[in-house]
Amino acid sequence: MDRRLFEAVLKGDVSSFLSLAQEEEDIIKQVVPGSLNTVLHLAARFGHLELASEIVNLRPELSSAENEKLETPLHEACREGRVEIVALLMKVDQWIAPKVNRNDESVLFVGCERGKLDVVKHLLVNHSWLLMLELDAPTTSLHAAASGGHTGCTPLHLACSKGHLEITRELLRLDPDLTSLQDNDGRTPLHWAAMKGRVNIIDEILSVSLQSAEMRTEHGETVLHLAVKNNQYEAVKYLTETLNISQLLNTPDSDGNTILHLATAGKLTTTVLYLLKLGVNVNALNRKGYTPLDVVETDASNSGSLVVVPALLEAGAKRCDQLPPVSQEIQTITEPSSGRLYPTSPNLPPPWPKRPPESPAKHHRRKHQRRREKQLEQQTEGLRNARNTITVVAVLIATVTFSAGVNPPGGFNQSSGKAIMGKKTPFKVFMVCNILALFLSLGIVIVLVSIIPFRRKSMMKLLISTHKVMWMSVTFMAAAYIAATWTILPGGPSTKWVLVTLVSIGGGCTMTICVGLGVLLIQHWLRKWEWKKTKRKNKDGSPHSSMNSRVGEMQTIKRGDHDSTSNSDVDSSEKGGYHLY
């Protein structure tokens, strides 16, 4: 080969190459002595995509040229992992792919042998028929990948992921041991089939090897973990109904999560209900010390929680703070001083120095503190929900009153555009009440969207004020409705009776509700007063009451919470589970 041409190809110098090709047209056909490599072989080996493109434009037949080893430029590109050049050569002539070299090695084989994952994936995704050409060969690309330790993504993994049943069946017939081949993350072909929900592929693999169902990934995940994590309900159902894998139902991964933890974290209602029917352990603890109920309650805003939480409670699920403090089944243990979680075993001592056993009183105080924190969280969440509810109600009142204002009872005069009933006293009452209801509700909306309180006491004050204004708005809206009805009723003695009946029914219902709420509010105030009285009595009866109260005050200030009112609301409402404002 001409020295200038050889140097231009090695450097990928397209301009020099084109200049030489213009000077001597047949120079492109020159080969390297001994190896018989063409310029396209060299460009493919060194990854010069632009140069390879120019060569195939000038001499497309070079894409199928063979060197001394009977290898085409495609062999060189696959061996070196040049995906762009592989795509270019296959676009020129895809039928060069079946060619084998002197050792009967295909382009797919040399790519697998070198572990060029991108090239192998490109060939299998775009030219999966290449696998079928190797089925009767004594040594396939699968053997090459396995012997070289390149298990990143074998053809069987891809076939299972894509759902190619026939290819999977032929590959398993070729070598059943391929079912245990793992990729870089430790996932087997069965894992990939479960992740994609390929039930027919799962059935085919398990008919060859039942042991593959027990293999785990690098993160300790079983086939059920991967199926649940990817929301493949049919795959989960098939695996649990077809196989005797009951021991896998409660098997934790490296994070201690069982499949029920994963299902509740994803709010997978159907899967959770199905797993509960199978009798999974509803109180298993993960490495963070959380049960499935704790996991789902960390994000209770999702609508799926409305079904998942009652189902878990009905099955006997508990929160972590409701479980016994010592259990031989727990896979993790908490250091008392730092709260960090450590894996433990009944036969191994704790990984920290021995400390005296916790006294019952101290355990009771810790349990009470956890319950207390949970109650405060529930109260804060309830206040947020109440704030959202008041906002929605205020918007609805504003919508109704605005619509009634622009379409008043009795209608308009077509010629003048004035309200027909405008001079009547009931109409004037209607307009006043309707306007008051409209602007009071708009005021509520403006206040609630403008103020974001961060403390429970501030939130409570905001809700109390807006709640009272909302009642005023509802009252004016009801009065506007009665006035509008009064306006459109015909005159006469019977009108008064109709109006009296209307006011009696509406007023009676409203008064009943108000009286009931008033009774509940008075009961809450009494409970709150008794709680404060008991609290004050306990403090006064202690010899260190002044010191204790001062310490408590300092602790309260340190927490940034001066909200004694909210605390009394929570504690005094513990039995009823609610309080009014």
- Residue 146: predicted pLDDT: 44
CATH number at 92 reads: 1.25.40.20
Which of residues 514, 538, 571 is at a domain's end? 514
Mapping DSSP to helix (H, G, I), strand (E, B) and coil, where does residue 255 land? coil
Q: Is the pTM of this model over 0.85?
A: no
d(CA 78, CA 56): 17
| CB contact burial 24-39 (16+ within 10 A = b; e otherwise) | eeebbeebbeeeebbb
Which residue, of 456, 491, 514, is where some domain finishes?
514
Buried-exposed string 431-441: b where 16+ CB fall within 10 A, e elsewhere: bebbebbbebb
As for how many domains the chain has, the answer is 2
Side-chain half-sphere CA neighbours of 549 within 13 A: 13
For 233-253, how does the pLDDT look when each residue is reduced to its tens digit (9 = 90+)?
999 998 888 776 667 888 899
Q: Is residue 66 part of a domain?
A: yes
Radius of gyration of the chain (CA): 39
Domain assignment of residue 121, yes or no: yes
Burial of 320 (0-12, 13-18, 19+ CB in 10 A): middle
C-alpha distance from residue 577 to each of 345, 369, 569 (Å) = 39, 18, 10
Question: What is the model's pLDDT at position 338?
Answer: 40
Range of the domain at 105: 1-143
* 435 falls within a domain: yes
- In a domain, residue 7? The reply is yes
Sites in the chain below the pLDDT cut of 70: 112-113, 115, 117, 124-155, 244-246, 299-304, 325-376, 454, 456, 491-496, 498-499, 531, 535-581
| The predicted structure's pLDDT at residue 433 | 93
Task: Determine contact, residues 214/176, Cβ cutoff 8 Å.
Answer: no
In a domain, 572, yes or no: no
Greatest extent of the chain over all pairs of C-alpha atoms, in Å:
121
Q: Quote the tokens at residue 94.
A: 């895809």
Q: Is the dihedral of CA 388, 389, 395, 398 positive or negative?
A: negative
pLDDT, residue 325, reads 66
pLDDT at 436: 94
- Residue 272, in any domain of the structure: no
Among the candidates 123, 143, 163, a domain finishes at: 143
pLDDT at 387: 82
Look-up: residue for tokens 């089925």? 135
If you write DSSP's letter for every residue of 168-227 in order, what string do you get? HHHHHHH-GGGGG---TTS--HHHHHHHHT-HHHHHHHHHH-SGGGG---TT---HHHHH
Residue 405 lies in a domain: yes
Q: What SS3 class is residue 413?
A: coil
